[in-house]
Structure 1
Amino acid sequence: MALKHKITVFKWVSILEGISFLVLLLIAMPLKYILDMPAMVKHVGMAHGVLFVAYFVGALLLIKPMNWGLKQIAIIFGCSFIPFGPFYVEKKYL
């Protein structure tokens, strides 16, 4: 797979992972704990989990071709745990 294609795929995964994280935190969790509607957490949580793993795999595959240093790698992986972090990665490092 060409580097440009890998970057494009990772950009999309990063954006979708960030959106799924925000939906989980800002919509699904309040529905579960405030309105006692846990179903959305199950579905959004599963989607977020799959995208989270895809984000990590995508980042691992880009370490060498993008010549990311240890600091950049730590920031990229750390941003996956922070709301809006994947959007930062997509804009700053891709």
Structure 2
Amino acid sequence: MLEPIQKETKTLQWFRWIAILEGISFIAFFITMPLKYFMEMPTPNKFVGMAHGILFIVYVVYAYLLTEEQHWTKKSFGVLFVASLLPFATFYVERKYLKAK
């Protein structure tokens, strides 16, 4: 799926953390959505939604930077981008593909 890691870099280390945090915020967002719409508690959703939005943008920027730094193809960037749209996928990508061999 993703090309092998060329070298361990600061960008890669930061991206691993960002991928985990983005995944956590995605899950938290799924928890706060029912609170907003079924229990009329919009405040948690407001904060979690803002954090998730910021982390999503940072994730995509770092995915691009990592793709450029590791000299990966656009397909690899596409895999990282799609992972940001699916619940739990950022955890999977971080665990399976972002470890230097």
Question: Could you tell me the TM-score, scaled by structure 1's length?
Answer: 0.89
| CA distance in 1 between partners of 2:70 and 2:93 (Å) | 13
Select 1:66's aligned residue among 66, 70, 81.
70
Taking the aligned partners of 1:21 and 1:13, their CA distance within structure 2 comes to: 12
Residues 63 and 80, structure 2, Cα contact 8 Å, conserved in 1:
yes
Structure having the higher helix fraction is 1
Task: State which of 60, 84, 92 in structure 2 corresponds to 1:56.
Answer: 60
Matches within 5 A, 1:11-26: 11-25=16-30
Mind listing any 5+ residue stretches in structure 1 that lack a counterpart?
none
Report SS of the residue matched to 1:83. coil
Contact 2:67 2:76 in 1 (8 A): no
Question: Quick one: percent identity of the two aligned structures?
Answer: 48
Higher relative contact order (CA 8 A, sep 6+): 2
Q: How many residues align?
A: 92
| Equivalent-residue separation in structure 2 for 1:28 and 1:11 (angstroms) | 25
Supply the distance in 2 between the matched residues of 1:60 and 1:22 (Cα, whole angstroms): 23
Q: Partners in 2 of 1:70 and 1:57 — Cα distance?
A: 14
> CA offsets, 1:3-38, max 9 Å, x none?
52111111111000000000001x100111121101
